[in-house]
Amino acid sequence: MIRKIFVLAACAVFSHFAAADGSQITATQSIQLSALGTFKSGPYDQGAAEIVSYDAATKQAYVVNGFAKTIDVFSLAHPDKPALVNQIKLNAYGAPNSVAVKRGLVAVAVAAKPKQDPGSIVVFDLSGNHLNSFKVGALPDMVTFTPDGTVILSANEGEPNDDYTIDPEGSISIIQVGDDIRKQSQANVSTADFTAFNTQAIDPAIRIFGKNASVAQDLEPEYIAVSADSKTAWVALQENNALAVVDIATSKVTALLPLGTKSHAQAGNGIDASDEDGGIHIKPWPVEGMYQPDTIASYTVSGETYIVTANEGDARDYDGYSEETRVGKMNLSKSLTEAYPKLSSNKQLGRLKVSKVGADVDGDGKVDRLFAYGGRSFSIWSAHGELVFDSADQFEQITAQANPALFNIDDDRSDDKGPEPEALALGKIDDRTYAFIGLERTGGILVYDITEPANATFVHYFSTRKAVADDDSPEAGDIAPEGIAFVSAQDSANGQPFIITANEVSGTVSTYAISVRR
């Protein structure tokens, strides 16, 4: 169904935001975004623009077009006028999920059909000529190069089929690039898997709960971040609410790091939990948010590596097994109902989607803990998985004031995962490091200064959604940023930094200028 949306056009936010608890969220105004150019890659809501990678040498962007099963190549010789100059066809290889460009190579993660079969990393030159293909694990969902360009890494999610009768093991494939990728063979591919953890005790905070699944089958790699020295990878295990640490040289998973939960009962950490409460009501609730990041990235400060996560959240919801339910369908414990007599009502938490896993702590058939999907935030973690910073409820507070009619998509997603932060890119401008976070549901890009990891500060929020438009009309603007790439001034054709967004629902590839306020 097509809805009309009523929001601010090209919304730029620089003011103070008063949170529900009376605290202030202040924009530092060091940089701001503005619309540059856009290109419509395909039809509405068909995945025509998903993941984007930028090549500085050619000033070209490479974008996954899931609708056409191509990698669309855009010239950004004029960043305000993205021009489609080539399409790398992938029909012969499978369904593309991700793309990465480095050292003149274009690596594409391609799923098999069925996706429970081993997938492939297919490598092309910048013109789209096929160079080599490598078999990897089931459902390669993300591909990246190490910073030095010597290794290609693939996060193989290993999702089960819908009946949950086939559940491949998750893994990380490590492909040596060598001097000539055409001379590499399958022997140059090694696998970091999780089989060693099948017989080891792991932290109970790591969610292992798939139907009849071993630990190796249950862990599902989603996204990869690599250290600046190209030696260590951190891998998001989204459904498991954890990170894996991989030693690249030995192809070994050296640690599993649980991310834990955030308490939405704390002041300043609230959520809008219902789509039937008559408006925007961000407040504390007795709910624990599982971070469950999608996109992650790493950066270094004073020799220490930090991991930045966009805490989207994700449930296992298959015909053969589902963990998902709503609070209103649960038999709540006395401790919850006495404190909140109307908690199960639709105006409170009745509509909120939560997990059944771990909800009944004492086994008496009643729910003691409520686990919601995603953190509705972004976080910064140490290399050892310790939480350094979380944006708490700022995403909902900021978007509620900036675009109230589009808040959690007209409040429709408040009972799910709220704004759903998904896309993420880091960029350095002058001596400051910034995080650019895309909101899949609400739309728009949030900018934070993360130069000091423990003291990250909100800088700017920008959205191109128009005031009145049908979602599938050209006037609607960018909907559902799935991937973001940062382009530095040095790598930009016009000497000015900008970001590129691939927007899955609107099917647009767009560029946003970054203006520095000195």
Tens of pLDDT, residues 395-440:
999 999 998 989 999 999 999 999 999 999 999 999 999 999 999 9
Per-residue model confidence (pLDDT) at position 18: 52
Per-residue model confidence (pLDDT) at position 25: 67
Per-residue model confidence (pLDDT) at position 334: 96
Mean pLDDT of the chain: 94
Distance CA 44, CA 30 (A): 34
Tens of pLDDT, residues 192-201:
999 999 999 9
Question: What average pLDDT does the segment 32-39 reach?
Answer: 97
pLDDT at 252 over 70: yes
Question: What average pLDDT does the segment 382-397 reach?
Answer: 98
* 3-state SS, residue 183: helix
Distance CA 335, CA 144 (A): 47
pLDDT at 388 over 80: yes
Per-residue model confidence (pLDDT) at position 9: 33
Per-residue model confidence (pLDDT) at position 24: 55
Residues 236, 311: contact at Cβ < 8 Å?
A: no
Q: Identify the weakest region by mean pLDDT among 8-17, 64-73, 301-310, 323-332.
A: 8-17
Question: What average pLDDT does the segment 480-494 reach?
Answer: 98
Residues 154, 143: contact at Cβ < 8 Å?
A: yes
Per-residue model confidence (pLDDT) at position 205: 97
Question: What average pLDDT does the segment 24-48 reach?
Answer: 89
Residues 448, 507: contact at Cβ < 8 Å?
A: no
pLDDT at 16 over 80: no
pLDDT at 85 over 80: yes
Domain ranges of the chain: 4-314+374-516
Long-range CB pairs of 383-388 (<8 Å, 24+ gap) are 383/227, 383/232, 383/234, 383/245, 383/304, 383/305, 383/306, 383/307, 384/257, 385/243, 385/257, 385/258, 385/259, 387/259, 387/260, 388/306, 388/453, 388/454
Per-residue model confidence (pLDDT) at position 473: 80
Q: Is 3.40.50.2300 the CATH classification of the domain at 4-314+374-516?
A: no
Per-residue model confidence (pLDDT) at position 6: 28
Per-residue model confidence (pLDDT) at position 3: 31
Closest among 502, 499, 507, 500 to 483, alpha carbons compared: 502
Question: What average pLDDT does the segment 470-480 reach?
Answer: 86
Reported residue count of the chain is 518
Q: What pTM did the predictor assign?
A: 0.95
Dihedral sign (CA 364, 368, 372, 378): negative
CA 240-243-248 angle, 5° bins = 130
